[in-house]
Amino acid sequence: MSRKRRSRPVPVLAHTPESASASALESALTPDVASMVGLITAGAVDAHLPLLTRTIQQRHRQVREKDAQRAMAAVPLGARVRINRTAVPQYLRGTTGTVTGFTGRKVEILLDRSHGRCGSCLVRVGPLSVDVLDPG
């Protein structure tokens, strides 16, 4: 066996290069947002970055929860659904089933056939991971 070490894998960029995406973003910004981004980029608010980070994360969480509530309201009981590409675990992606109930913030789905490790065919996924095929 060779003693040569493996080279590290080179990550593949999932998005466009920064220069192309930055110019596209800048053209879509309002003047207020553009000035705020300019201040952050210039380092003028470095002392306040932890507060800004927490505030943005909190707002992002609120928007995500609101989106989840809207999605939950749009999924009726008995609807035929497909589990979309945002679902975890990945082996559930693309499977179809029927909504049988709701548990807390999750949608209970009775799958048409068993997949992966779910022997009972009853799975719980977040409402943003469900696409309604037929409202039932």
Instruction: Please name the residue ranges forming H helices in the chain.
Output: 18-28, 31-42, 49-73
Q: Are residues 67 and 85 in the same domain?
A: no
Q: Are residues 94 and 61 in the same domain?
A: no
Q: Are residues 106 and 124 in the same domain?
A: yes
Does 29 map to a domain?
yes
pLDDT of 19-34, one tens digit each? Answer: 556 666 667 788 899 8
The CATH number that applies at residue 130 is 2.30.30.30
Residue 38 Cα to chain centre, angstroms: 28
Q: Are residues 67 and 52 in the same domain?
A: yes
Q: 3-class SS at 109?
A: strand
Predicted confidence at residue 16, as pLDDT, reads: 45
Instruction: Give yes or no for residue 79 having a pLDDT over 80.
Output: yes
Q: 3-class SS at 128?
A: helix
User: Residue 110 gets which letter from DSSP?
Assistant: E
The pTM is what?
0.66
Q: How many CB atoms lie within 10 A of CB 127?
A: 19
Q: For the chain, how many structural domains are there in total? A: 2
Q: 3-class SS at 74?
A: coil
Q: Which domain holds residue 46?
A: 18-72
